[in-house]
């Protein structure tokens, strides 16, 4: 007895286009959501880092200059303060 080969039903090319478009759409949504979450977390990290560095620099400002806005300090003093703060961060950690 001869066995008949099953005939394969071809899917239309239009259906393939719709499938590929759906896959591309879902992928782009996934990438967009992933990037948004990453961006929010990165901004939060930068904000915390900025505040901690700012507070650390405030710690190194001499007592007699702490009432100043920072505009009254000389550039040399500013540079010394930032240098002390960065040395502290590099040796002790944040």
For residue 91, which of 67, 56, 43 has the smallest C-alpha distance?
56
Check whether 91 has a pLDDT greater than 70.
no
Residue 26 confidence (pLDDT): 92
Q: pTM of the predicted model, to two decimals?
A: 0.40
Q: What is the per-residue pLDDT for 36?
A: 87
Distances (CA, A) of 92 to 48, 58, 87: 18, 17, 8
Confidence category of residue 21, pLDDT binned at 50, 70, 90: very high
């Amino acid at each position: 007895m001869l066995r008949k080969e099953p005939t394969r039903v071809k899917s239309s090319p239009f259906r393939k286009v719709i499938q590929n478009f759906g896959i591309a759409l879902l992928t782009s949504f996934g990438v967009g959501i992933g990037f948004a979450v990453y961006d929010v977390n990165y901004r939060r990290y930068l904000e915390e880092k900025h505040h901690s560095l700012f507070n650390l620099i405030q710690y190194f400002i001499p007592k007699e200059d702490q009432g100043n806005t920072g505009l009254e300090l000389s550039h040399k003093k500013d540079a010394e303060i930032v240098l002390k703060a960065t040395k502290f961060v590099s040796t002790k950690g944040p």
